[in-house]
Amino acid sequence: MKKIFGRKDKSDRGSPAPQDENPYARQPAEDPYANAPAPNSNYQSNRPMGLPSGPRPGGGGGGLPRGPAAGRAVPGAGPGGPPPPYSSPQPNNRAPPPQQQSSGYGNDRFGAQGGYGGNRYDNGGAPYDNKQPRGGPQRQGGYGGLGSLDDDNRAGLFNDYKPPTGRQAPGGYGGSSGGYGGSSQSGPGGYGGSQPNNGGYGGYGEDRELTEEEQQEMAVQDIKREIIDTQKATIASGQRSLQMVGAGTESAMNIAQALARQREHLDNAERNIDNSSVHNRIAKEQTKRLDKLNGSMFIPSGLNKKKLAELDERTRISEQEEMRARDEARAGAYQGRQRLEGMMQDLQKPTTLGAGRANRSRREEFKFEDDDGEQEANNEEIDNQIDEISRGVSALHGAARMINEELEDQIRQVGRITDKTPTNVARSPDQTMSKKRKHEADVVKIDSQKASSDSKKASQSTTKESSQPIKAPGDPKYLPTRQALPIWKYQDDIRRVLRANDVLVLVGETGSGKSTQVPQFLFQEKWCQRKTVKVKKQVEGKEAEVEEEVGVGGVIAITQPRRVAATTLAHRVSKEAGTPLTGQDVKGAKGLVGYSVRFDHRVPKGTKIKYVTEGMLLQELLRDPHLRQYSAIVVDEIHERSVDVDLLSGFLKQIVRGDKAGRGGVPLKVVVMSATANVEGIKAFFSDEEKSIVEYLQIEGRQFPVDIVHTPKPVPDIQEALLKTIFKLHTEQPLQDKYGKNDILAFLTGQEEIESAQRLIEEYAATLAANVPKVKVLPLFGQLSMEAQHEAFQPAKAPFTRKVVLATNIAETSVTVPGVRFVVDCGKSKVKQYRPRLGMESLLVKPISKSSAIQRAGRAGREGPGKCYRLYTEDSYEEVLEKTDLPEILRTDVLGAVLTMKARGIRDVFTFPLMDRPAAESVEKALVHLRMLHALDDSAEITDMGRKIVLFPVTAPYARVLVAAAEPRFDCVLDVIDIISCITAGDDIFMHIRNEQDGEEVEAARKELWRREGDLLTYLTTMQRYTAENADRPKWCKARKINMRNMRQALNIRKQLRGLCVRHGLLSEAPPPDPQLFVPASPEQAEAVIKCFMKGFALKTALLMPDSSYATSVGKHVVAIHPSSVLHGQKKEAIMFLEHVYTQKSYAKKVSAVQAEWVAQAFEE
């Protein structure tokens, strides 16, 4: 109420109160003047409507901020307040107001006896200069003059009141007979009301005429308002102009940079042409000289010293002219480069201009005396904008002039190059010289056939690698598809660069063909053939004086960040090459392509192209530090910057820049491929300061246009928005068009979200009408089996069916899902986050980067025009998303990376070459942890235990547990393998229970799996019962809400770990196959298993505190047992946990009960 009825502040400009807050500002239901034909005056058009916030006489209204204060005694004022706000004090000869109760808002009945009347400036359509009476026909007043009684008045305000028949409507605010309150016949008059029917001045009635001062005040206020509005419009226009100037400046910078690059290319081309011209001229002169000398030996010739001198003089003059022309070209190039550099510096250099200050003194003449500062502030902002615009326009003018000069200069340079080119690249033989030589050969009778043959062989040997085309191998039916790829036309450039350099940085969009075609371009190169060399023999890790012959090279390895990419690409390339992965003979090709990933290894005999995951190649590096098997390593998708690819890049840099003695002097070629153009850091990382070994090549993409659609506002429920978007596309878009299938690819955060969305989509699709196409939902994430992953890349087999692929960020790069034309992007992904001080690593859902968003959108434009629906706003994309993803090595635990470096022989891990170096604190904690695991000794050298640990494809703590389990005092290797397999199979094997009814049934079924010792023994029981169940495993998993996919993955890990344990001596013999009779672990077995895990996880123990909380043994951080644990809500003297996560609070997951004595023993050991 204070806001509506209080006095206006100086800064308040009388803006109308919102109508939803002010019932008195609404139009009356039956206002007889609502449709009056009278046009509004300029003042009426600009006057705020509704309730003003300042005071009026009698509490009834407001006026300008500078009106007299409420309640101040002034001449002509009524008992309720000051005179009208737009008028001067009333003359004393005016009739005083009757001594009656004040009307307006003075009554707590909301306007009884007159109330808030009509517009006091309403002249019934007459202009301001019209002096006719303003009374007009007698009519009802304003909003308050509906009756003389309180109830009548209130009813009129709120119930669409009509005055009773026969009763005269009171005057009110603007009434003809009364004043503010009305006539004497209908009740007490208002402020300054006149006698009935006297037509005189009645205070606020319509008979009152504006004074000259009021008219001037009104005009002044109109002018001030127009000035302020004009200033605001000018400021808005200035902001737009500044944006345009900024865009123009940025475009000018881009043009200047492009011209600089073009200038550099032109300079290089002209320099090469000049050098070629010099060599060509020298060759011709020498040829002439030799011809003359040869002629003088066998044919009479007039050659003498004078002619030789004349020939030398002509040669000298020609050399001087060419040198002068080259110097002029170089000087022009230097001036052009200086001009471009100066232009770019001028664009970035601030200039001091004062165009906006020129009219300051003149504006002071027109400044209002009572200006509250807004006008001056607007002027200041306009001045600043004018200065900025003037500065930017001046810089743009200079840039345009310099760009024009540079373009004209480059055009002239192109003309020079064109003039020089025909004389330097002509390859047609000199017919006269040929005839002369033939005649000389006939005279001399030399065995020309032999000489010609020798010359031909020499020519072939020098040009074989540079000019002889290599026939494209493989299945001819795939050749048109390969030739249509953007990278196909760059194959000669790729071969040429790698013949001269050891490292090639190749940038091309996903879908350009680089992952499949580059190895096929290279495997037939001469440097890629296997060679037999002599190297010093290794004896116990040290070089001996004895040399041995070894084979080096012959295979190209292509690394991929994920298993699905490696296997999919290998299958594709094997088809293109015409040889299956089984290695059988097909059209003369045998075993050309293979792959090696975790749980799957197919490398036929004679393999030349081998796809591997980054982790598998790191394992090979531990066995063969020089990678002698390979001629080239192709590091694909390096922009993802995983820990493995960063380590691999460091090792490859050492091999490339090393002495190559371990490879017998045979260089290792490295091709680094990325889907993004931000590779300057990668190029600098591999560069050598002494010599150039790195080349860069940009591949044009084959991207169709993709429309981006953002949500207009933030999405509260991602899953609901996802389903709506998918089914909107499915029901509105055709199954296919001229470009092919119109399938859908949706990006989600993880396995659990994908499986939940898959279930909901399938349930809803079953309810669609028969004339709507069917939906085939296919998941795609890292923990899927190879068969399930490959199914996502196959077209839907059933007719009248659309494929919907639900994927994690696994589908962003590496491979292209065929048929996708629509992408739905949730804008989030799961990333690892490590806190070294807490020793806590969490998998968090975070927004993706702009780079990832662009990659995801690009999936829709690989085979035709597409659309990408982003389930986040455009503002979120611009303001929330980072430009690129943070490298994994900067946000994860580096324990495994440090162990790998130590196993590879790196003594000082702090100086190991990495593109991004992790924090020293993280590295130090990793070294301390490895020392506690006995993987390193006191001098930070790797131990025998460390060499055993690094052999297993699990993290160092789990590998330490495996080695401990083989000790005779524990003897529980198989049990430990079962537990580790369940834990490392991906997400938790126990699915989340979503409702209470299912929860009771599931918990009853799961009770047979629970063990009082904790979660580790529960995992052991689950695996043993699952493998013993040979009748219906899917039904068994469904009854207990156990993830069947994860259990299958756990079986794969179990099989691999058992085989490795047999190979490395942890198991004396292979265990019996499944199924085996289930026998629950005894308490002694359970204790042995938990003590084994204490060997790897002693740092993750906590002791019970007096307040019933748990404090970690290291750091004394408070943790709570996670609700998913079987020990949740129980009190144990000490616990061991394998995972430390933070959600609402700090939780310990995968918990087991231990004794405090065991914790002390673990730290003592």
Q: What is the pLDDT of residue 708?
A: 95
795 versus 277: the higher-pLDDT residue is: 795
> How much of the chain is helix, strand and coil, in % rounded to 5?
45, 15, 40
Residue 441 pLDDT class (50, 70, 90 cuts) = very low
Q: Which of helix, strand or coil describes residue 768?
A: coil
- Across the range 682-699, mean pLDDT stands at 80
Q: What is the pLDDT of residue 442?
A: 39
Q: Is residue 564 one of the residues assigned to a domain?
A: yes
- Across the range 75-93, mean pLDDT stands at 42
When mean pLDDT is compared over 132-146, 348-362, 959-973, the highest value belongs to 959-973
Distance CA 172, CA 182 (A): 5
φ and ψ of 845, to 5 deg: -90, 120
- For 1118-1142, how does the pLDDT look when each residue is reduced to its tens digit (9 = 90+)? 999 998 899 998 999 999 999 888 7
Q: Residue 451: which residues within 8 A CB-CB, separation 6 or more?
A: none
Q: What is the pLDDT of residue 914?
A: 93
**Do 1021 and 1085 lie in a common domain?**
yes
Element (H, E) at 1062: helix 1044-1063
Last residue of a domain, one of 633, 668, 698: 698
Distance CA 592, CA 583 (A): 7
The closest alpha carbon to 183, from 139, 120, 136, belongs to 139
Report whether pLDDT(425) > 80: no
Residue 690 pLDDT class (50, 70, 90 cuts) = low
Residue 384 pLDDT class (50, 70, 90 cuts) = confident
Q: From the CB of residue 886, how many other CB atoms can be counted at a distance below 10 Å?
A: 15
H-state helical runs in 299-371? 305-348, 360-365
**Do 569 and 601 lie in a common domain?**
yes
Distance CA 168, CA 827 (A): 69
Distance CA 218, CA 212 (A): 10
Q: Residue 159: which residues within 8 A CB-CB, separation 6 or more?
A: none
Q: What is the pLDDT of residue 251?
A: 83
**Do 418 and 509 lie in a common domain?**
no
* CATH code, domain carrying 1115: 1.20.120.1080
Residue 350 pLDDT class (50, 70, 90 cuts) = low
Q: What is the pLDDT of residue 375?
A: 75
Report whether pLDDT(769) > 50: yes
When mean pLDDT is compared over 259-263, 544-548, 770-774, the highest value belongs to 770-774
Residue 582 pLDDT class (50, 70, 90 cuts) = low
843 bridge partner residues: 832
The angle formed by the CA atoms of residues 689, 691 and 697, to the nearest 5 degrees, is 95
DSSP string of 806-843? EE-GGGSSSS--TTEEEEEE-SEEEEEEEETTTTEEEE
Residue 669 pLDDT class (50, 70, 90 cuts) = very high
Distance CA 253, CA 247 (A): 10
Amino acid at 773: P
**Do 503 and 588 lie in a common domain?**
yes
Q: What is the pLDDT of residue 903?
A: 93
Residue 901 pLDDT class (50, 70, 90 cuts) = very high
**Do 506 and 536 lie in a common domain?**
yes
- Which residue bears the tokens 């702009």? 850
**Do 813 and 832 lie in a common domain?**
yes
Lay out the sheet containing 600-602: strands in order across: 600-602, 593-597, 609-613, 555-560, 630-635, 669-674, 503-507, 694-698
- Across the range 644-672, mean pLDDT stands at 92
| Residues 192, 97 contacting (CB under 8 angstroms) | yes
Lay out the sheet containing 820-825: strands in order across: 706-710, 866-870, 820-825, 743-747, 801-807, 774-780
Lowest-confidence pick of 269-278, 415-424, 890-899, 967-976 = 415-424
Q: Is residue 439 one of the residues assigned to a domain?
A: no
* CATH code, domain carrying 659: 3.40.50.300
Last residue of a domain, one of 698, 731, 766: 698
Q: What is the pLDDT of residue 139?
A: 41
The closest alpha carbon to 744, from 800, 853, 815, 817, belongs to 817
| Residues 521, 711 contacting (CB under 8 angstroms) | no
Strands (DSSP E) found in 25-75: none
**Do 947 and 1061 lie in a common domain?**
yes
Q: Which of helix, strand or coil describes residue 879?
A: helix
Burial of 278 (0-12, 13-18, 19+ CB in 10 A): middle
Q: Residue 945: which residues within 8 A CB-CB, separation 6 or more?
A: 933, 934, 935, 960, 963
Report whether pLDDT(970) > 90: yes
When mean pLDDT is compared over 101-110, 320-329, 912-921, the highest value belongs to 912-921
When mean pLDDT is compared over 151-165, 391-405, 861-875, the highest value belongs to 861-875
Distance CA 185, CA 167 (A): 9
Q: What is the pLDDT of residue 889?
A: 92
Q: Write out the two tokens for 867.
A: 């659309």
Q: Is residue 969 one of the residues assigned to a domain?
A: yes
Inter-CA distances, 629 with 556, 617, 719, 965, Å: 9, 11, 48, 35
DSSP string of 630-665? EEEEEE--GGG--HHHHHHHHHHHHHHHS--GGGTT
Q: Is residue 1028 one of the residues assigned to a domain?
A: yes
- Across the range 629-651, mean pLDDT stands at 93
Q: What is the pLDDT of residue 979?
A: 96
Percentage of the chain with pLDDT > 90?
36
**Do 821 and 970 lie in a common domain?**
no
1013 versus 1144: the higher-pLDDT residue is: 1013
Report whether pLDDT(297) > 60: no
Q: Residue 450: which residues within 8 A CB-CB, separation 6 or more?
A: none
Q: What is the pLDDT of residue 1064?
A: 92
Half-sphere exposure (Cβ direction) of 957: Cα atoms closer than 13 Å: 20
| Residues 75, 92 contacting (CB under 8 angstroms) | yes
The angle formed by the CA atoms of residues 475, 481 and 482, to the nearest 5 degrees, is 75
Amino acid at 1162: A
Q: What is the pLDDT of residue 422?
A: 53
Q: What is the pLDDT of residue 331?
A: 72
524 versus 30: the higher-pLDDT residue is: 524
Distance CA 707, CA 877 (A): 15
Last residue of a domain, one of 669, 698, 727: 698
Q: Is residue 97 one of the residues assigned to a domain?
A: no
Residue 320 pLDDT class (50, 70, 90 cuts) = confident
Inter-CA distances, 849 with 424, 640, 877, 1095, Å: 51, 11, 9, 39
Range of the domain at 282: 219-424
Q: Residue 401: which residues within 8 A CB-CB, separation 6 or more?
A: none
Residue 115 pLDDT class (50, 70, 90 cuts) = very low
Distance CA 1088, CA 1082 (A): 10
Distance CA 636, CA 514 (A): 9
The closest alpha carbon to 1056, from 1140, 954, 1130, belongs to 954
Percentage of the chain with pLDDT > 70?
69
672 versus 432: the higher-pLDDT residue is: 672
- For 979-1010, how does the pLDDT look when each residue is reduced to its tens digit (9 = 90+)? 999 999 877 888 877 666 666 777 888 888 88
Distance CA 102, CA 105 (A): 9
When mean pLDDT is compared over 27-31, 138-142, 967-971, the highest value belongs to 967-971
The tally of domains found in the chain comes to 4
Q: Residue 293: which residues within 8 A CB-CB, separation 6 or more?
A: 303
**Do 717 and 666 lie in a common domain?**
no
Residue 539 pLDDT class (50, 70, 90 cuts) = low
- For 706-744, how does the pLDDT look when each residue is reduced to its tens digit (9 = 90+)? 999 999 999 999 999 999 999 999 999 999 888 889 999
Q: Is residue 156 one of the residues assigned to a domain?
A: no
- Which residue bears the tokens 């000087």? 331
Q: What is the pLDDT of residue 371?
A: 65
Q: What is the CA radius of gyration of the chain?
A: 44
- For 616-627, how does the pLDDT look when each residue is reduced to its tens digit (9 = 90+)? 999 999 899 999
User: Quick one: how far is CA 133 from the chain centroid?
Assistant: 72
Distance CA 499, CA 641 (A): 28
- Across the range 1059-1063, mean pLDDT stands at 94
Q: What is the pLDDT of residue 731?
A: 93
Q: Which of helix, strand or coil describes residue 497?
A: helix
- Across the range 163-183, mean pLDDT stands at 41
Q: What is the pLDDT of residue 1063?
A: 93
The closest alpha carbon to 553, from 533, 572, 571, 569, belongs to 533
1062 versus 475: the higher-pLDDT residue is: 1062
Half-sphere exposure (Cβ direction) of 401: Cα atoms closer than 13 Å: 10
- Across the range 87-99, mean pLDDT stands at 44
- For 593-614, how does the pLDDT look when each residue is reduced to its tens digit (9 = 90+)? 999 998 888 998 889 999 999 9
**Do 727 and 693 lie in a common domain?**
no
Q: What is the largest CA-CA distance in the chain?
A: 147
The closest alpha carbon to 871, from 780, 952, 757, 979, belongs to 757
841 versus 443: the higher-pLDDT residue is: 841
- For 174-232, how does the pLDDT look when each residue is reduced to its tens digit (9 = 90+)? 344 333 444 434 344 444 443 444 444 444 444 567 788 888 888 888 888 888 888 88
Q: From the CB of residue 483, how many other CB atoms can be counted at a distance below 10 Å?
A: 11
342 versus 766: the higher-pLDDT residue is: 766
Report whether pLDDT(242) > 60: yes
Distance CA 215, CA 82 (A): 19
Q: Is residue 195 one of the residues assigned to a domain?
A: no
248 versus 291: the higher-pLDDT residue is: 248
| Residues 1076, 1025 contacting (CB under 8 angstroms) | no
Residue 25 pLDDT class (50, 70, 90 cuts) = very low
Q: What is the pLDDT of residue 359?
A: 54
> Across the chain, what does the average pLDDT equal?
76
**Do 939 and 816 lie in a common domain?**
no
**Do 714 and 689 lie in a common domain?**
no
Q: From the CB of residue 230, how many other CB atoms can be counted at a distance below 10 Å?
A: 11
124 versus 384: the higher-pLDDT residue is: 384
Q: Is residue 1062 one of the residues assigned to a domain?
A: yes
